[in-house]
A and B are shown apart, each in its own frame.
Chain A
Amino acid sequence: MFENFLIRSDSLRNEVRDGKTVGFTLAVRHANYRGCYLSLHNGYYVEVDGTQYATDRQTFEINGQAPRSFDEIRTAVHEHWNYDDEAVLHVEAPGGLAPGEHTLRFQQSVLAAYGYLPTDEEWVKNPPTPGSGAGSDKTPEIVAYRLTLTEPEKN
């Protein structure tokens, strides 16, 4: 669902902290017709121009809080990510991305489902790796985007 609309098209920008470009950010939405408890959020498959950025290099900014790692996000068991709300995905990539156009391959993994599934016990012990399609029931294929880098906001 919403294949072509999961990333805001003007949202790819480098992230500058203390004068250093530490990575890049993307504004993202739910790949579903509803929100869910934030804890269910399991990270992203993100690949830019052939380079993949694993979940341990990603942090997630939602609900007015500073970016959190996905290890922290999974403990947000009473916090909800609402359907209407855009979140910002921060990706650690020292030096950032080059100016111009980039090819992103992208998939969201959220362990939300219709009730009990055969994979439940396994996913408690070993959550699926984003990009496998698991935990992406409404948008099970990786989606490719062509996005142009926007100048970072001045701090």
Chain B
Amino acid sequence: MTIQRGVSLYSYQQSQFLKELMLEDQIREVGRNLGGADGIELIDEMSLRYPDPGDDFRRQWFAWMEAYGTKPVAMDVGMDVLQFRDHVMTHEECADRLRQDIRLAKSLGFANVRVLSVVPVDILVSALPLAEQLDIRLGKEIHQPMRLEGREVGDILDVIERTGTRHLGIVPDLGIFQFRPSEVLLSWLERRGAQPTASLASVDLALAIHRGESPFDLTAVHRHTAGNLRSDLGRFLTTGESAPELLDVFEGVKRYTDERVTDPEAIDYRTVAEALMLSRTSAETLRQIAPHVIHVHGKFNNMSEVPGAPGRYQEISIDYDAAIGALKAGGFDGYINSEYEGQRYFQDRGREDLMDEVDQVRRHQELLRRLIAA
């Protein structure tokens, strides 16, 4: 078994937006500057002229792969159900869009297609025959605050068991191993008015939950998406109302904040509540399902230097040791692709304060290289 390294070009979204690095520059960076990484993952609607980039592009694409020694590992596809505007797309219409994307991925030599965590499983089942025919593996992403222990993974494993397919599996986003709010998210919230004591309280609460010492019952939280939790918390703070099963949690967060932050405002409660948005999934589950992992999103928000160790880097909010250890112990054979997401927490500032995506990915690859070899 081997774990290989690649990059999701999602990591370079800001450089592309600002026209600092276009697609060829991004591929060259992966192939030439990351010490043996060779996997390319991209989002079709970010990196390509969609839905058909054309035959000239295809020729160019394969020439780049050869020139820079890179491989098309995964294409990430979306599902916008209001495309037709006069009705909500049916599952079969979504499956048609997925089939279109599978054909596009095949035409560019990709081995895997990643679908969003929220895609209903019957859509995947509908597209599976085409995926098998074209030898494309479909991977459902499992993204924070979902957990590997939930129905989303169970549904996929059921289909695999029932059909014996080798073309369906899971794409874990390592953000599910996040155990405290990222320092760059907290700084962004502080620029919006959160008090530093609220950031501290958020980290303390997250770490208490991580140790199994949550001051309140969190069972209800995992049934909601982070977006829904945030909007329901907003409703609770203005009206005192929320989904009934979340009332105890929100009252707990409010109490926890009131005890630690002077004259807290909505932004302070929101900051503390970030401690609830984490998956707290189990590395043991990842080890068990490793044979069904298609590829991995190596999510990170900030790579900082390990104190006292120049040239070594860490992600202080995500348990990379546990995640990579579990992939190795479970015999995972495939790519971990760097997926940098923290650049968005600086875009409220001037251009001179933006993060350097190239440097962040290089740092993350140092971490991956070290942990894979360990």
Contacts and interface: CB of A to CB of B under 8 A. Distances in A.
Size category, B interface: 35 or more
Contact of B84 (A4, A39, A114): A39
A121 B88 CA distance: 7
Interface string B60-95: 000000000000000000111111111110000000
B347 A40 contact: no
B212 interface: no
A98 interface: no
A106 B13 CA distance: 22
Contact of B80 (A3, A33, A37): A37
A97 interface: no
A37 B84 CA distance: 9
A5 to B, nearest CB: 7
Interface stretch (B41-49, B127-135, B215-223, B258-266): B41-49
A114 B45 contact: no
Contact of A5 (B17, B78, B84, B120): B17
Interface in A1-32: 1-5, 29-30
B349 interface: yes
A82 B87 contact: no
Interface residues of A, number: 33
B78 A34 contact: yes
B25 to A, nearest CB: 13
Given A1-B344, A40-B80, A115-B118, A77 B85 contact: yes
Main secondary structure of the interface of B (DSSP, over half): loop
B86 A82 contact: no
A40 B43 CA distance: 18
A146 to B, nearest CB: 13
Given A36-B80, A115-B81, A124 B87 contact: yes
Nearest to A111: B82
Contacts of B227: 137
B85 A39 contact: yes
Interface string A119-143: 0110110000000000001100000
Given A33-B43, A120-B88, A121-B88, A3 B348 contact: yes
A37 B45 CA distance: 9
Contacts of B86: 124
A73 B169 CA distance: 37
B82 A40 contact: yes
Nearest to B49: A82
A112 B79 CA distance: 8
Contacts of B50: 35, 80, 82
B347 A2 contact: yes
B340 to A, nearest CB: 11
